[in-house]
Chains A and B, each alone.
Chain A
Amino acid sequence: MSHITETRKQTVQPNDLARSLRKTKLSRGDRAVGTASHAMLIIWSIIVVLPMLWTLMTSFKTTKEIFASPFALPAEWNFENYVSAWTEYDIGGMFFNTILVVGFALVIVMVLGAMCAYVLARFTFPGSKAIYYLMLAGLTFPIFLAIVPLFFILKNIGLLNTLPGLTLTYVAFALPFTVFFLFAFFKGLPDEIQEAAYVDGAGEWRTFFQVMLPMAKPGMASVAIFNFLGLWNQFLLPIALNTDKSKYVLSQGMASFASSAGYAVNFGALFAAVIITITPVLIVYVIFQRQLQGSVSQGTMK
């Protein structure tokens, strides 16, 4: 729609004299504001993009080149840094761990979250409000409050420093957000369809999995994207609860990589590891960009 008006504005119709006069009169101020706005937004875009391009370029340099000059292009464009990051510094193993933990946690939290949200949104029973507020508390309180006891809970059930233990905590802490978002979604679905499913003889289980869940697909998709990003980027839970080096996930691995003392750090490989870590979220972002921004917008509409 805005495109049409834009092009109409540019091809000034000569017969409409009054309008074009008004346009020229106003356009000076408009142009100043427009130029200033564009200038600011372009500067901001540069501030956003430049660091990433620089990181990408630097990831191909040797450590010596990095210290020589921040601008010089790498003498040789090869993937040596990537190879050494992947194998020597075990980014490969961490990548695999991260995919495992995030993948399982994502599937479990989506299923459990959808089920819980569905029950809370569409069934009334004593205590449903209390559960809702309990979820709200889980969303508000800082994870830092929970981290010490959580460490010992996992220790006592023997899941400390294990990937299943980490997965389980990921599920638990992603649950309130998932339930909240999907709660609104399930609430908005029409009653009639659920009733129709009952009338046709479907039980509660079947009504959910074959009728209601498929209808919640758009909501599920946006929550899943947010959860994927949130879990992929999770930092505190792994560094506190997953301290066994062979089970590191990417985020904590990156931190230990960077802090592994002074000049011994292979900076080229560090930059390469940064790029490796960003790539999956970049792919998700590019594919789901529209949907992501759409769901941010949806959040404001309720």
Chain B
Amino acid sequence: MTAAGADPGNAIAATLGKPGGQKAPRRRRRKLTFDYVSFMAVFLGLPLAIFVIFVISPFVQAAYYSLTDWSGFSQTMNFIGVQNYVNLFQDDQFMKAMGNNIFLAIVVPLITLSLALLFATMITVGGPSHGQTRGLKASSFYRVVSFFPYVIPGIIIGLMWAQIFGPEGLVNGFLRMFGLDMFESFPWLGDERTAMGVSVFVIIWGFVGFYMVLFIASIKGIPAETFEAVRLDGAGRFRTAVSITIPLIRDNIQTAYIYVGIMALDAFVYMAALNPNGGPANSTLVMSQYLFEAAFSHGKFGYASAMGVILAAITLIFAAVVFTVNRLAGGKEDGGRR
């Protein structure tokens, strides 16, 4: 289809486009031939139209809806200013959900990335401390296995672990095997004290492998001479990791931190699979769940849009905080490095 459609344009371009191309290749002003115009219209216009209609315009509309009391199916939509936001901050359930989200955004990246960094360090430079810097044996096995959860759908991860942590699940089975009878049929996800911890564990389980592979790649990007020099200077493994590896891959850690944090601020699919209704005493309720319920179960579209705006704002603030912390922490040590 495309090849046939391009043919007449090619003929024009063959006659018109040639001389320009030979003179100043990179900066030539393109003539508005049919070929060029049609090319731009399709190549840029089509994707951009889809993107603007389905991604950008909803973002903008959401900001407007958040200032109305729109209930979706009614025709009336009153402009009520920031009333939705005021209500939200007085809504205990929403504040609880926001607190849970902030907890997730702090805890999940911290544990996920610490584990990923630890495993990556072991795999890349954990080998013998003499001769060439090298990693452990069988490292590719660990890499392939740990990466695997990343490809499993989030909903499946949630459902699978919901069964494993269920009253008759694998975890209680093991605990009973070791004689811990109080776990006879302990509902890990149904108990206020454990539900959040289990949810955090499940999310981490899904992400460690991916970031491990990412960190392995960035550590391998550090020249081997660096490690050798450090070793000659007498630094041990821990010292090497803290003063060399981590500072040198700082930017990758920052990017990873932002990604995991954004994911933890969403967390919808995991929480929906583990505890569809927010868990015992709303202990695992997150903003996205509350938003979804407000919009699609109660038809409070204006209210839900306001939550969306707050979620987006928190996401941006989170990214800004990570950038700032990295800048401040890096600023102190930068003098020595470059």
Q: Which residues of A contact B (CB under 8 A)?
A: 2, 5-6, 9, 22-23, 26-27, 29-30, 33-34, 37-38, 40-41, 44-45, 47-52, 54-55, 58, 66-67, 69-71, 112-113, 115-116, 118-120, 123, 125, 131, 134-135, 137-138, 140-153, 168-169, 171-173, 175-176, 179, 191, 195, 198-199, 201-206, 208-209, 229, 232-233, 235-236, 239-240, 250-252, 254-255, 258-259, 267, 270-271, 274, 277-278, 281-282, 284-285, 289, 292-293, 296-301
Is B47 touching A146 in the complex (CB atoms < 8 A)? no
Beta-carbon contact of A153 and B10 below 8 Å: no
Q: Are A300 and B218 in contact (CB under 8 A)?
A: yes
Inter-subunit contact B151/A285 (CB<8 Å): yes
Query: B200 CB to closest chain A CB, in angstroms?
Result: 14
Interface residues on B, range: 35 or more
Q: What are 26 A-B interface contacts by the 8 Å CB criterion?
A: A41-B122, A41-B142, A45-B141, A69-B173, A70-B172, A71-B173, A142-B262, A142-B308, A142-B315, A144-B287, A144-B308, A145-B59, A147-B308, A148-B65, A172-B54, A175-B47, A175-B55, A191-B26, A198-B18, A203-B14, A206-B10, A229-B151, A251-B156, A254-B153, A284-B151, A300-B217
Chain B, Cβ-Cβ closest to A108 = B50
* Additional 20 contacts, C-beta under 8 A, given A285-B148, A297-B217: A34-B126, A34-B128, A48-B145, A51-B170, A67-B168, A119-B44, A144-B266, A148-B308, A151-B295, A168-B54, A198-B13, A208-B43, A233-B152, A233-B154, A235-B153, A240-B292, A258-B273, A270-B159, A296-B213, A300-B218
Known A69-B173, A201-B18; judge A147-B295 contact (CB<8 A): yes
Contact of B132 among A5, A135, A297 (CB under 8 A): A5
Whether A115 pairs with B43 at a CB distance below 8 angstroms is yes
Asked whether A119 and B40 contact (CB < 8 A) given A259-B276, A299-B214, A300-B217, the answer is yes
B285 contacts A by Cβ under 8 Å: no
Docked-complex contact B146 and A44, CB < 8 angstroms:
yes
Given the complex of chains A and B, what is the CA–CA distance between A19 and B95 in angstroms?
A: 64
CB distance from B10 to the nearest CB of A (A): 4
- How far does the alpha carbon of A270 sit from the alpha carbon of B156 in the complex, in Å? 10
Does residue B136 face the partner (Cβ distance < 8 Å to A)? yes
B35 touches A45 (CB 8 A): no
Chain B residue at minimal CB-CB distance from A134:
B56
B164 beta carbon closer than 8 Å to chain A: yes
Once the chains are docked, how many angstroms separate the CA of A201 from the CA of B22? 11
**Complex Cα gap A156–B127 (Å):** 61
Binds A, one of B1-9, B79-87, B188-196: B1-9
Q: Mark B23-57, 1 if CB is under 8 A from A, else 0.
A: 00110001001011011101110111011111111
A251 and B156 alpha carbons, distance in the complex (Å): 8
Q: Are B217 and A296 in contact (CB under 8 A)?
A: yes
Q: Which of B172-228 contact A (CB under 8 A)?
A: 172-173, 177, 205, 208-210, 213-214, 216-218, 220-221
Q: Is the CB of B40 within 8 A of A153?
A: no
- How far apart are A171's CB and chain B's nearest CB, in angstroms? 6
> Are B312 and A145 closer than 8 Å at their CB atoms?
yes
When distances are taken between beta carbons in the complex, the residues of chain B under 8 Å from A69 are: 173
- The answer to whether A168 touches B62, judged by C-beta atoms less than 8 angstroms apart, is no
User: Within the complex, what minimum Cβ distance (angstroms) separates B51 from chain A?
Assistant: 5
Contacting pair A277 B156 (CB below 8 A): yes
Inter-chain contacts of A150 with B (CB < 8 A) = 54, 58
Is B46 in contact with A205, judged by CB distance below 8 angstroms?
Answer: no
B47/A179 in contact, CB under 8 A: yes
Q: Which of B280-311 contact A (CB under 8 A)?
A: 287-288, 291-292, 295-296, 301, 304-305, 307-309, 311
Q: Which of B131, B148, B311 has the largest count of A CB atoms less than 10 A from its CB? A: B148
Considering the complex, give the chain A residue whose CB is closest to the CB of B149.
A48
Q: Which residue of A lies closest to B123 (CB)?
A: A41
Among A23, A66, A142, A201, contact of B14 (Cβ-Cβ < 8 Å): A201
**B137 interfacial by beta-carbon distance below 8 Å:** yes
Q: Are A203 and B6 neighbours in the complex by a CB distance under 8 Å?
A: yes
Nearest-neighbour CB distance to chain A for B54, whole angstroms, equals 3
- Find chain A residues with CB under 8 A from B295 CB: 147-148, 151
CA distance A37 to B6 in the complex (A): 59
Q: Which residues of B contact A277 (CB under 8 A)?
A: 153, 156
Q: Is the CB of A274 within 8 A of B119?
A: no
Q: Is the CB of B173 within 8 A of A206?
A: no
| Residues of chain B lying within 8 A (CB to CB) of residue A27 | 128
Q: Does B164 contact A54, Cβ atoms closer than 8 Å?
A: yes
Chain A residue numbers with a CB within 8 Å of B159 are 254-255, 258, 270, 274
B102 near A: Cβ within 8 Å? no
CB of A66 within 8 A of CB of B217, answer no
A172 / chain B contacts, CB cutoff of 8 Å? 50-51, 53-55
A48→B296 CA distance, assembly (Å): 35
The verdict on A278 contacting B135 (CB below 8 Å), with A34-B127, A153-B54 known, is no
CB-defined contacts of B291 to chain A, threshold 8 Å: 144, 147
> Which residues of chain B have C-beta atoms less than 8 A from A70's C-beta?
168-170, 172-173
